[in-house]
Amino acid sequence: MLLKKSSVARAGVAALAITGAVVLSNPAVAEVSASAAVANMYLWRGIDLGDGSAAVSGDLIYSVGGAYAGLWVSSGDDALGNEYDYFVGYGGEAGDFFYDVSLWNYNYSDDGIAGKGFDISDDTTGELSEVIVTLGYGDFSFSYYDNVAGGSGYEYYTLSGGVGKFSATIGYHDIEAPAGANDDMTHVDLSYAFNDNLSFTASKVVAQDCDKDDTGCTGAIDEDVKFVVSYSLPIEM
């Protein structure tokens, strides 16, 4: 089966633009934080959503006592346009163990996602949402992503670890795709934080259901290594 990048981005998976969020347990102290970032591409779960164009993102997060809520906004998705995501979650820890559960809702301000293969009839808030569960120990964690609205038939898993300023993630897309389409894909991301602002990431698709040279399979992903440089700037509140 072949999954074209467009169908990954739009059909099912794409809208699942995600992330896990881990919150270490903390006392009931309210905190507001924000940051902005630029990168040479929008790398989403091993896939370049912008076809090489740069992207800008920003987040605003309110947290208190392990609970949090926020907004994540980004450009760079060539297919769906500017994106803004709402999220809420709660995290805690017990010794070196930690957990986090969050709910993300994905929205696109430009082209919208209705009628683009996400099982969504209109572009109202909440039509495309995903739950993320993360369990971790020390510097290692496992995350599970599943749609609770829209984009049914798609799940995503990650296994991450880190040492100091280095981080590695293995991600696996599990897609209920029609015959002849790409129905799973595995990628590996390696990241290095040069300092508090500048980070480098190399990402490669290491396995997929479609053979990259099989033109009969739709949704095949480019297997070239993708290099991303990003500059993030925490903003004092």
Partner 1 sequence: MKYLPRVNRPGLLGLLLCLASVPVLSAERLHVKAGESRTLSGAQRDYVFDELVLENGATLLLSGSGARWHLEAHRARIGKNVKIIGRGGVGQQGADGKSVAGQAAVCKKGRGGEPASHGGVGQDGASLVLTLSLEQLDSLTVDVTGGAGGPGGKGGHGQKGGDADKCPGASGGDGGDGGDGGDGGNGGNVRVYYTLLPESGLGASVTKRIKVINGGGPGGESGHGGEGGEGAGGHYIHMRTLTGNKKWVPGGDEGKRGRDGKKGRNGVKGQAQIDRDLNRRIDELMQRQHVMPALSKSRTPAATADLETLRQNQIEILKRLDALERHISE
- Give the shortest CB-225-to-partner 1 separation in angstroms: 14
Asked if 192 and 164 touch (Cβ cutoff 8 Å), the reply is no
Cα–Cα distance measured from residue 219 to residue 216, given in angstroms and rounded to the nearest whole number = 10
**Closer by beta carbon to partner 1, 134 or else 208:** 134
Q: How far is the CB of 178 from partner 1 (least distance, A)?
A: 28
Nearest to partner 1 of 192, 215 (CB atom): 192
Contacts with partner 1 by CB under 8 A lie at: 17-24, 26-27, 29, 31, 33, 37-39, 41-46, 55, 57, 59, 61, 63, 68, 70, 72, 74, 76, 85, 100, 104, 134, 141, 143, 158, 160, 162, 165, 167, 169, 171, 189, 191, 193, 196-197, 199, 201, 203, 228, 230, 232, 234
Token output for 14 = 């794409």
If you ran DSSP here, which 8-state letter would residue 177 be given?
Answer: P
Nearer to partner 1, 148 or 168 (CB): 168
Q: Which helix (H) or strand (E) holds 198?
A: strand 198-208
Q: Which residue's CB is nearer to partner 1, number 41 or number 177?
A: 41
Bridge partners of 100, per DSSP, are 91, 134
Nearer to partner 1, 193 or 214 (CB): 193
Three-class DSSP category at 130: strand
Distances (CA, A) of 135 to 70, 93, 147, 159: 21, 10, 18, 10
CB of 121 to partner 1, least distance (A): 26
Write out the two tokens for 204.
């490669």
Task: Name the nearest CA neighbour of 114 among 125, 104, 98.
Answer: 125
- Minimum CB separation of residue 216 from partner 1 in Å reads 30
Minimum CB separation of residue 51 from partner 1 in Å reads 14
> Of how many residues is the chain composed?
237
